[in-house]
Structure 1
Amino acid sequence: MKPLFFPGNPSFWYETLRTFGHIAYGGGDFGEVVTTCERITAGDYDSWHDAWLGTADRVAGEARAALAAGHRVSARDAFLRASNYYRAAEFFLHGDPADPRILHAYDASVACFRQAAALFTPAVEPVEIPYEDTVLPGYLYRADDSGTPRPTVLMFNGFDGTVEEMHFFGAAAAAERGYTVLTFDGPGQPGTRHHQGLLFRPDWENVVGPAIDYALTRPEVDPARVALLGASMGGLLAPRAAAFDHRVAALVCLDGVYDLGDIATSGIPLPRAEAERRLRADQDPELDAMLEDAMASSPMLRWAMEHGMFAMGVDTPRAFGAAYLDYHLRDGIAEKITCPTLVCAGADDGFFRGQPEQLYEHLTCPRTLLEFTAGQGADAHCQSGAQRLAFARVYDWLDDALAHHTPAR
């Protein structure tokens, strides 16, 4: 899709498209997004923050006024938009984890979402999922108040998105189709990274396992029909979990990812084995300088490296690249998946182009590759900008997959 804003900065444009896409499920309003973008200087992280924070503050104020006046639907809608705008405001600031603007906007995003959640019918319930010696924050969506067990979707975001954003990235779409939905942030994702200091881990089956354990305690969950959906980097984490936890009845990779080592080494002009060795070396000033130069010349790479260091808890771009090498489905992992699997692919994915096809090729379970094109307006990463189309196709597939599901014995 041709950029409508920030034509020379793919990172700023994708994040704008992401917010445009969330309009479909209440995460924005077209005019609010446009007027915010008109106040932003391309490539200027402070300008981005200030513009989105100003819009978020204004919309949150309208939400509070509507609630005080008894206008619950208006308040809910405005709180949802404000939550997403606050999420956008702090998005580019993670190069300095001590920046107080991060937690200010993040906490405001969560608070607004929780106020919106309480105004749905049925209410969206904040939950805490027991995990090791702490908890994972999440939300439970119910189709109604009957307590009837229903097909259930467990879902989570990826490298940089929040559990609150999953409302727009699949939860609302599933709930309106009658699914029970459990969303959560795992280690390294915002809900655990900001306040608990938890860092990403590659063995995501040890994250999903406790979430399934929790889901099975809820009467609204049909234990024989629990599906798993991972967005963005979650398109690698979810299949990793499904490979080792066969309680997953169906799997959706939005989009599919096979090997982040490909991403970590793609910009290093060396054979992969040598690139991996140098990323993992104790010292390599030459490669360090090469990565710093690459960040200076690529807005997308600059953001990815800075956020990656924050999410992985490392101090250098090279250490982040080394950490990424551990995230893959090689060595027969993809082949361990047994449940029906949907792999989504955007034709112009600016982050993981080619990765969905690699994952699909390695699957030995019942599998479907669902491709989205520029002609559909759906070719971007995670089909941002075409979410009504994307989730119609995803959940039509899931309806059929779970209807024909035979529980494992």
Structure 2
Amino acid sequence: MKQLLFEDDPQFWFETLRVFGHASYGGADFGEVVATASRIKPGDYDSWHDEWLATAERLAAEAASARPVSARDAYLRASTYFRSAEFFLHGNASDPRIAYAYDRSVACFHRAVEGFEGIEHVEIPYEDHVLRGYFYRAPGAGRKPIVVMCNGFDGAAEELMFFGGLAGQERGYHVLAVDGPGQPSAIHRDGLVFRPDWEHVVAPVLDFALADPGVDSEKVALLGLSLGGLLAPRAAAFEPRIKAVVAVDGVFDAGSAVTAMLPWPREEIVRRANAAEDAEFDQLLAAGRAASPTLRWAADHGRYVMGAKTDREFLAKYLTYTLDGGVAERISCPALICEATDDLFFNGTDGQESEPRRLYARLTGPKTLLSFTAEEGADAHCHVGAQRLAAARVFDWLDETL
């Protein structure tokens, strides 16, 4: 989709488009987003924080004295804007603005959820901690199919309301949206960083879901968004209780989002990223940060969620997130692989196939590739500009598959 704002900063534009998209299910309002974005200085993380925070605070204050439906709607939008406020601050994990905006975002979301039918905040036992999320209960009696959802590298369980929580619920699905390790509630509350073997995250979530008498154990789908487009297929390769898997969008090698910006083959990058010292590589990454808003943000956030002290250490960890080595081929349940034709992160370079197509090509079981285009306004990563369209196609596929 053509950049309408922040024309020299694709990362700022993508995050703005992402917020625009949440308007589809009440998580933003067009005029509020335009007014806020127009006050932000391009490339300035402090300005981004200050303007989104100001909009969020205004709405939260208005919600506090509003009547129930108006309060619900205002709290929901305020939650989105508080979440946006702290998005670019993770380069300094001790910045107090991170915890403040995150806590306000979750609190506003919980206030908003009080105004919806059939949405419960849940905590699922996980090792010595809990995984936090939301159960969107389908209306009506009897056992229903369930979609377990996980977000990706930087998304929250709360945001999954707009990427499938409400869409699934109104179509007769239970939806269980959960933050795993490395994702917001786990990293903020417990310091749990990402792990690549996502089947160990999904297993206790499925234990929790299948203990519910309203869940049909033969109709269990797993949907992953963004990096979740690798994590969900990874879990499906090892977890037989999953009857269908959806990758929005598909990712075979997560590290390609960074290696595509570097001048060496992947094997050389892996070797140098894992070296005890490599001044040349460190300088190259520093120059890349200065030249690319996306690499600057990815490295800052990556250190935060991967538990890395340096950009090179982050990259070394991130390069382990791959479905190579026969993992993709192990997936036997039906798989829906979504593709955004102008994906900012995983579109492939120098003649290399996009990540969704690389994953699709490796699958040996029943599979469907679903491409979203510019003509549909849906070609951005995870189809953030067309969230209702994407939800409709995904759940129609699930209807046919389950």
Letter in 2 for 1:286: E
1:99 partnered with 2:95: yes
SS in 1 for 2:216: strand
Shift of 1:325: 1.3
Q: Distance in 2 between matches of 1:101 and 1:39?
A: 19
Contact conserved, 1:264 with 1:324, CA < 8 A, in 2? Answer: no
Structure 1 equivalent of residue 82 of structure 2: 86
1:1-400 alignment to 2 at 5 Å?
Answer: 1-66=1-66, 71-122=67-118, 124-144=119-139, 146=141, 148-353=142-347, 354-400=354-400
Contact conserved, 1:76 with 1:115, CA < 8 A, in 2? Answer: yes
Letter in 2 for 1:108: R
Shift of 1:117: 1.0
How far does the alpha carbon of each residue in 1:116-150 deviate from its partner, in whole angstroms, 9 at most, with x for none? 1121123x10000110111000111112264x320
Contact conserved, 1:265 with 1:276, CA < 8 A, in 2? Answer: no
SS in 1 for 2:255: helix
Provide the alpha-carbon RMSD of the alignment. Answer: 0.9
Q: Distance in 2 between matches of 1:331 and 1:194?
A: 33
Number of aligned residue pairs: 396
Q: Distance in 2 between matches of 1:88 and 1:163?
A: 14
Letter in 1 for 2:91: G
Contact conserved, 2:299 with 2:311, CA < 8 A, in 1? Answer: yes
Task: Decide which moves more: 2-11 or 199-208.
Answer: 2-11
Q: Distance in 2 between matches of 1:130 and 1:398?
A: 28
Letter in 2 for 1:220: G
How far does the alpha carbon of each residue in 1:153-180 deviate from its partner, in whole angstroms, 9 at most, with x for none? 0001100011101111111111111110
Q: Distance in 1 between matches of 2:291 and 2:387?
A: 31
Point out where structure 2 has 5 or more consecutive residues left out of the alignment: 348-353
TM-score, normalised to structure 2's length? 0.97
How far does the alpha carbon of each residue in 1:341-387 deviate from its partner, in whole angstroms, 9 at most, with x for none? 10000000001110000000000110000000011110000001111
Shift of 1:263: 3.0
Shift of 1:272: 2.3
Contact conserved, 2:256 with 2:346, CA < 8 A, in 1? Answer: no
SS in 2 for 1:187: coil
Shift of 1:46: 0.6
Q: Distance in 2 between matches of 1:248 and 1:282?
A: 40
Q: Distance in 2 between matches of 1:224 and 1:281?
A: 47
Q: Distance in 2 between matches of 1:163 and 1:261?
A: 23
Q: Distance in 2 between matches of 1:271 and 1:380?
A: 27
SS in 2 for 1:226: strand
How far does the alpha carbon of each residue in 1:253-298 deviate from its partner, in whole angstroms, 9 at most, with x for none? 0000001233343233223222211111011011001101100111
Task: Decide which moves more: 226-235 or 164-173.
Answer: 164-173
Contact conserved, 2:194 with 2:306, CA < 8 A, in 1? Answer: yes
Q: Distance in 2 between matches of 1:344 and 1:211?
A: 24
Letter in 1 for 2:234: R
Q: Distance in 2 between matches of 1:266 and 1:8?
A: 20
Q: Distance in 2 between matches of 1:261 and 1:12?
A: 21
Structure 1 equivalent of residue 351 of structure 2: none
Q: Distance in 2 between matches of 1:156 and 1:80?
A: 20
Structure 2 equivalent of residue 406 of structure 1: none
Q: Distance in 1 between matches of 2:247 and 2:89?
A: 28
Shift of 1:112: 0.6
How far does the alpha carbon of each residue in 1:43-88 deviate from its partner, in whole angstroms, 9 at most, with x for none? 010100010001001111121111xxxx222111111111111110
SS in 1 for 2:202: helix
SS in 2 for 1:286: helix
Q: Distance in 2 between matches of 1:361 and 1:159?
A: 23
Contact conserved, 1:264 with 1:325, CA < 8 A, in 2? Answer: no
SS in 2 for 1:352: coil
Q: 4+ runs of 1 displaced by more than 6 Å?
A: none
